[in-house]
Structure 1
Amino acid sequence: MILDDFIVLTKTGLFCSYGDFYLDPKEIVKNAVISHAHGDHAIGGNLNVFCTEATALFMKHRYRKFAGGEFHLKTFYEIFDLNGVKISFIPAGHILGSAQVLMEYQGVKYLYTGDYKLQPDKTCEPIEFVQADVLITETTFADPNTQHPTAEEEILKLNGTQTNIMLGAYALGKCQRLISLMNDYCPDKRILVHHSMLPFVKIYEQMGVNMGKYEPYDRKVMKNNLTNMVYLVPPMVFRSYFKAINVIRVFATGWKHLQNSHEIQLYISDHVDWNDIMETIKQVKPTQVWTNHGSGAELKNHFEASLVVKSLD
């Protein structure tokens, strides 16, 4: 029997009282099961951290000695037990090391997606589907009107100009994906990377990911070469350099409202769109869908007559 309160949303985050652990807690807890290393899912300081190796490396770089008490590293599909709940990590395809969390309790399987994507990405493990009774899915872009173009099509837009480009992107996941895409589809571009992004790139390489060609940002190089340079910067730097001259400003994101003022709109998202969520439900075959991180209203309307859909938010 599905337990309606197996996962509940508290001010600290998603809590499983049956196993006494939190999924991606927002405050420090005793037992934290971490899906991936983005800052809105992985804070520092938890006493026990259960995650993949890549997630631990990213967290230890970001939080240093405050990353956590004890890290319990788990490989994909390895089953471990937390107070009677059997847990395993399934590749989520979001960033390197990102995992869906499969939980089994009293014969019922609950699958927490964390953030995930179905689009191909050479820089991280591709998503894999497992069947579960309950699918707990993010709903960042759960709108029938939202359909992400392919990243391969989008990155080709950069070839439409020889002017230098300041390319804004998240330092973890999006940055590495863009470097790989530009190496494959924009061979004439010379890629410069902001110093704050480089440690994450190096961890990707440490974990065996072939990033292709890139180089640390050098102001003289950028100043002396007025064409075909791409300078990758994190969001805060991108916003602070809003008066930068001799560059085209581009920001890689799936959010339309963040594209309005830029010369090139680069719609590259690391989240599922509506069609991807539909495919995930088809593959997982749940009897219930619990939504999180966004609005599940459209999903509830769509499945009103055929599937139980409830919001955890």
Structure 2
Amino acid sequence: MILDDFITITPTGLYCVYGDFYLDPQQPVREAVVSHAHGDHAIGGSQNVYCTAATASFMKHRYRKFAAVDFYTKAYHETFKIKDVAITFFSAGHILGSAQVLMEFQGVKYLYTGDYKIEPDATCEPFEFVKADVLITESTFANPDTKHPSPDDEIKKLNETSLNIMLGAYSLGKAQRIIWLLNEHCPTRNVMLHHSIMPFVKIYEDYGISVGNYKMYDRKVMKNNHENQVYIVPPMVFHSYHKAINVVRAFASGWKNLQQQNGISLYISDHADWDAILETVKEVQPKQIWTLHGDGKQLKAHFKDQLEVKILND
């Protein structure tokens, strides 16, 4: 029997009372199961953190000695228990080390996707479809009007200009994917990175992921060469240099509002769009869908009379 209160939303985060642990807590807790290392899912200060090895490495860099008291790193497909709940990680395809969390209790399987994408990405493990009774899915882009374009086609837009480009990208996950795409599809470009992105790239390389050629940002290179330079910067730097001259601005994101006032729109998302969510539902074959991180109302309408859809963040 599916337990309606298996996962509940609390001010601290998603809580599983039957295992007495939190999924991606927003405050330090005793038992934290962390799907991936982005700051809105992984914070520092918890007692026991269960995650993949790559996620632990990213957290240790970001939070230093305050990352956690103890890490318990688990491989994909390795099952472990917290109290009476059996937990197994499966790749989420979002960034390196990102995991879906399969929780089994009293014969029922609950699958928490975390953030995910199902399209290929050479810089992280591919998404895995997992059968479950309850699919607890992110719904960031759960809108029939949202269809992410091909990332290959999007990055090729940069070939339409020879001018230097300031390219905004999140330091973890997005930046590494963009470096790889630039190397693959824009080979004439000299890729330079903001210093804050470099440690995350090194961790990727430590885990055997080759993102291609890049260099640390050199102001003289950018100043003396007005063509074929791409400078990848984190969001705060990108927005602080809104009056930068002699560069074309672009920001790699699925969000339309982040494309405004830029010279080139760059719709590259690391989240599942509408079609990908529907494909995931088809493959997971759940009896119920629970939605998070977005608006699940359109999914609820789409599956009316077919599947029960519960919006957890209502």
The TM-score normalised by the length of structure 2 is 0.99
Q: Which residue of 2 aligns with 1:257?
A: 257
Q: Which residue of 2 aligns with 1:26?
A: 26
2: distance between equivalents of 1:123 and 1:211?
7
Q: Which residue of 1 aligns with 2:160?
A: 160
Q: Is the 8 A contact 1:133 1:286 kept in 2?
A: yes
Q: Which residue of 1 aligns with 2:189?
A: 189
1: distance between equivalents of 2:307 and 2:261?
40
Q: Residue type matched to 2:286 in 1?
A: P
**Residue 145 of structure 2: SS of its match in structure 1?**
coil
Q: Residue type matched to 2:279 in 1?
A: E
Q: Residue type matched to 2:244 in 1?
A: A
Q: Is the 8 A contact 1:291 1:311 kept in 2?
A: yes
1: distance between equivalents of 2:112 and 2:27?
19
Q: Is the 8 A contact 1:115 1:271 kept in 2?
A: yes
2: distance between equivalents of 1:68 and 1:81?
19
2: distance between equivalents of 1:189 and 1:38?
28
Alignment of 1:88-99 (within 5 A): 88-99=88-99
Q: Residue type matched to 1:38 in 2?
A: H
Q: Residue type matched to 1:153 in 2?
A: D
Aligned CA RMSD, in angstroms, stands at 0.4
1: distance between equivalents of 2:263 and 2:238?
14
**Residue 96 of structure 2: SS of its match in structure 1?**
coil
User: % of aligned pairs identical?
Assistant: 65
Alignment of 1:70-219 (within 5 A): 70-219=70-219
Q: Is the 8 A contact 1:19 1:85 kept in 2?
A: yes
**Residue 54 of structure 1: SS of its match in structure 2?**
helix
1: distance between equivalents of 2:231 and 2:289?
41
1: distance between equivalents of 2:208 and 2:83?
34
Post-superposition shift, 1:193? 0.3
Q: Is the 8 A contact 1:133 1:288 kept in 2?
A: yes
1:305 maps to 2:282: no
1:282 maps to 2:282: yes
**Residue 265 of structure 1: SS of its match in structure 2?**
strand
What do residues 211-243 of structure 1 show as CA deviations (whole Å, max 9, x unaligned)? Answer: 110000010111111100000000000000111
> What are structure 2's unaligned runs of at least 5 residues?
none
Post-superposition shift, 1:258? 1.3
Q: Is the 8 A contact 1:133 1:287 kept in 2?
A: yes
**Residue 111 of structure 1: SS of its match in structure 2?**
strand
Post-superposition shift, 1:118? 1.0
Runs of 4+ residues deviating >3 angstroms: none
Post-superposition shift, 1:122? 0.2
1: distance between equivalents of 2:265 and 2:136?
31
Post-superposition shift, 1:150? 1.0
1: distance between equivalents of 2:263 and 2:248?
6
Alignment of 1:2-21 (within 5 A): 2-21=2-21
Post-superposition shift, 1:58? 0.2
Between the two proteins, the alignment pairs up a number of residues equal to 313
**Residue 141 of structure 1: SS of its match in structure 2?**
coil
**Residue 117 of structure 1: SS of its match in structure 2?**
coil
Q: Residue type matched to 2:109 in 1?
A: K
Q: Residue type matched to 2:145 in 1?
A: N
Q: Which residue of 1 aligns with 2:59?
A: 59
Q: Is the 8 A contact 1:254 1:269 kept in 2?
A: yes
Post-superposition shift, 1:119? 1.5
Q: Is the 8 A contact 1:299 1:309 kept in 2?
A: yes
1: distance between equivalents of 2:235 and 2:258?
11
Q: Residue type matched to 1:142 in 2?
A: A
2: distance between equivalents of 1:195 and 1:299?
41
Alignment of 1:32-43 (within 5 A): 32-43=32-43
Q: Which moves more between the two structures, 255-264 or 181-190?
A: 255-264
